[in-house]
Amino acid sequence: MEGIINFVKRYKIITTSLIGVSLFLVFRKFILGFIGHHIIMFSKYYKYLKRPKKIILIRHGQSQANVDKSLYSQKPDCQIGLSDLGKSQAFEAGKKLKQLLDPSNRIKFFVSPYQRTKDTYEGLLKSVANQKMQTWVDPRLREQDRGMHNDEERKQLFIDRKAQGHFFFRFPQGEAGADVYDRASQFLDVLYREMDSNKKAESDVVVIVTHSLFMKFFLMRYFFWEIEKFEKTKIAGNCDMWILEKIEGTGNYKLITELKECSEYED
């Protein structure tokens, strides 16, 4: 009798184990999928937490060619630096940037390689030099290439651009606005890889020192603007800041700077 009881007990254990294994095999896809889903969600949420609190776009200060447009036909656009007023604007912009930062904030600068943007960056540093920072000069942030033309040719080209539209018009020996849009798309991909990479130093604020047209294309790409909205948006003034702030609990950003509309494009 005792042997029968022991056999029944062993049979129950084996049966229970077999049932457990069978249930696991039946539901393993669901169980592993559930676990995998939550691991992915946690990983994404961790990336969101790491992303900078702000992305700040800053246009360069007044350039020498903003004062004397004949310079565009006398020297390469990339070599045109800031005017004296532009240097003062950059210094004042640095003060405003400082007010947007906490002392512990880590800044990651991305700077256009043009002389006027590098001069602006130098002006900004005078106010934020005590912050922890990293800096990259990125060619994708450069101004639209408009080629080299004399004053009369340049005036006619701007008339033609107004008639055709600023997004599609292509400057001879230069770029169309659509080319700058493509560069903005490429830069945005790089920016996200930098923000989400575990191998890169984290930053609290990203500052992009660039040009007025690139700033518009950056927002167009990020917020999926229609071409009509791009055309109607007023460009940033010299050393103006357009600020994107991270939406709490997400990895997305909202524009907190109020932009204005314009009836005509400003160069």
- pLDDT-based confidence at 259, cuts 50/70/90? very high
Q: What is the pLDDT of residue 88?
A: 97
Q: What is the pLDDT of residue 225?
A: 97
Tell me the domain boundaries of the chain.
Answer: 1-50, 52-255
* Average pLDDT rounded to a whole number, residues 5-9: 47
Residue that is written with structure tokens 């609990």 in the block? 249
Q: Is 266 a catalytic residue?
A: no
Q: Is 38 a catalytic residue?
A: no
Alpha-carbon gap, residue 218 to 257, rounded angstroms: 14
Which entry of 60, 166, 194, 211 is annotated as an active-site residue? 60
Q: Was domain 52-255 assigned CATH 3.40.50.1240?
A: yes
Residue that is written with structure tokens 């009369």 in the block? 152
β-bridge mates for residue 244, sequence order: 55, 255
Q: What is the pLDDT of residue 25?
A: 62
Kindly give the interhelix angle for 212-223 and 177-196, rounded to the nearest 10 degrees.
70
Q: Nearest to residue 221, comparing CAs of 179, 259, 176, 184?
A: 184
Q: State both tokens at 68.
A: 């004397």
Which entry of 92, 143, 152, 166 is annotated as an active-site residue? 143
Q: Is it the case that residue 157 has pLDDT exceeding 70?
A: yes
Looking only at the bridges linking them, the beta strands covering 54-59 and 132-137 are unpaired
**What pLDDT digit, counting tens, does each position of 18-65 carry?**
566 666 566 666 655 555 444 444 455 456 778 999 999 999 999 999
Task: Tell me the pLDDT of the chain averaged across its residues.
Answer: 85
Please give the model's pTM, rounded to 2 decimal places: 0.81
Q: What is the pLDDT of residue 217?
A: 97
DSSP class per residue in 183-217: HHHHHHHHHHHHHH-SSSPP-SEEEEEE-HHHHHH
Task: Say how many CA atoms lie within 13 Å of 219 toward its Cβ.
Answer: 28
| 157-178 burial code (b ≥16 CB/10 A, e <16) | bbeebeeeebbebbbeeebbbe
**What pLDDT digit, counting tens, does each position of 126-137 carry?**
999 888 899 999
* Average pLDDT rounded to a whole number, residues 201-229: 93
